[in-house]
Amino acid sequence: MPSVFWETLSAARDLGRLHDIASILIRYGFSDMVRRLGMANALERAGKVLHWQEAGELARLEPPARVRRALEEMGPTFIKLGQILATRMDLFSPEWIAEFEKLQDRAPSVPFTEIRQQLQEDLGAAPEEVFAELVSEPLAAASIAQVHRARLRNGDEVIIKVRRPGIRLIVEADLRLLQRLAKIIEAESPEMSRFKPREVVRQFTLSLRRELDLAAECRNSERIGRNFGDCSEIVIPKVYWAWTGERVNVQEAVNGIPGRDLEGAEQAGLDRKILAQRGARAVLKMILEDGFFHADPHQGNIFYLPENRIAIIDFGMVGRLSAERRSQVVDLLHGLMEREVDCVVEVLLDWAGAANIDEDSLKLEIDGLVDQYHGVPLKELYINTILTDLTTLLRDYHLALPPDLTLLIKSLITLEGMGRQLDPNFDMVTEFSPFLRRALLARYTPDALVKRGWRAIVGGLEILTDLPQDLHHLLRSARSGRIQVHVDVTRLQHFGNQLDRATSRLTMGVVIAALIIGSSIVMTVDRGPVLFGFPLLGLLGFLSAAIAGVWLLISIRRSGKNLE
């Protein structure tokens, strides 16, 4: 199957990119992977030469370091993938996570002369006509876009984010490779298929395509800004939609103290304890109440403003949680905080789906995990440690978190780290508590009860309304003999195979018995050819029965059956 895949791919437009990726993998000592996936055959048939001896010092690095450096060389898509994998503590051990976290989304800046034409097309006018001032030297450069400072003609200071020319073609080619690779892994590796590689790649594809659309970042920004509309403590930059599109966006410039400059915050008279509390509450509100949150709340995306206000920027990566998922997260966190083991196990089993798990053993492990934090003072209770231990436990039980939760866990861990840097006495559990209480109480408000009751009534009425028509279809199918019953029973096919083998052996036994009886009768007949004074046909019958009997005994022995 892999060779068929790569041969098909070789006729497509991704051949050059495939050659680059294969060369990088070989250089880092992954030539065996290139061969197993059939990439070598496809490329060689297309006339591409692979240098199998390229691996040297790089191949002697530890596997996590080799993978990380290979991802860096393979470009923006794979750097982004590595950053996503850094959130999958349920899949990778700490040494792998540590390497993935080293992946930084930096890239050499594109000279302004190369992006000027694209910028003019997107703005609808020459940049000099739109901006009174535009700094050609970029403020920052990443793999997807780079940022320039500017000033509008009305005096507003703004930030211009410009997508790198040609980056979409590279990213789309990489995404096609990843999607096909995920199909191969899922089809050929049962061990890896439980981690749902196709679903992981699908989620990653959606996320990266949104990030390529710079207007989507602004829509995210405005949505979160509306959610904080009545909160003056949190500032979200204004979007200038007149000059914003898929390849460029223009947003209000934030002139504050960068999140990394803690000394600068103190010198400006800001209260670090208040900043930690407000930042934590803002992110928890996004997660637990709004279900739409900034998925990368690190210090580079935070600015501190006068009066202990906080500005949040860069909404290219956001997380989404459905109402049902938020309810599960609330139950999980409440169970961990209140040491309700049954609640935690129930949520984890819901997430595990149809996985075959020893529930009693899992419950015992969770009980031990929760109990080790009993009596620990809140300021010494790290949500980071709890979540890390929990994901390690999931990994031990070969369970994978739903993909939409990995960004959530990473955000919570990052958030706690920032809070502890601002305030050494910061404890996440205290900040969690009011949100969890409100979320739990909200389930039993009159409005919530009425809504749930109404949904149940409507659902029941729909079933009753559809019942006559469903019965009519069922009876019509029964009269025409078109009813089909599909039974999917675990081990049914295995049982059928066993039954088939047993029937075959029973038939063979009957044939052997018939040969013996028939040969015995022939031995009493005086007519016909003889051998050693015995009827030849009788001897042949006994010989055939003996050979068949030996074969039957060997077959039974090989299948592990015991003869008594």
Alpha carbon distances (Å) from 148 to 136, 214, 218, 452? 7, 14, 16, 50
Q: How far apart are CA 390 and CA 47, in angstroms?
A: 50
Catalytic choice (90, 122, 174, 296): 296
- CB 371 within 8 Å of CB 339: yes
Query: Residue 440: enclosing H or E segment and its boundaries?
Result: helix 428-442
Pairing of strands 309-312, 234-235: parallel
**Phi, psi at residue 533, to the nearest 5°?**
85, 5
Helix runs in 443-491, H state only:
446-479
Query: Which stretch of DSSP H or E encloses residue 374?
Result: none
Q: How far apart are CA 41 and CA 181, in angstroms?
A: 16
Report CA 25 to chain centroid distance, whole Å. Answer: 23
Closest CA to 256 of 241, 273, 236, 230: 236
DSSP 239: B
Looking up tokens 């200071």 gives 157
Q: Give the chain's largest Cα–Cα span.
A: 124
Contact status, residue 273 vs residue 267, Cβ threshold 8 Å: no
Residue 497 structure tokens: 């195979």
Residue 402 vs residues 43, 80, 391: alpha-carbon distances, Å: 36, 19, 12
Q: Where are the alpha helices (DSSP H) in 101-145?
A: 112-123, 127-130
Active-site residue 371, yes or no? no
**H-helix segments, 304-373:** 323-338, 341-352, 359-371
**Strand, coil or helix: 93:** coil
Give me the phi and psi of 474, to 5 degrees please: -65, -45
Strands 302-305 and 318-320, by their bridges, are unpaired
Query: Which residues participate in catalysis according to the annotation?
Result: 296
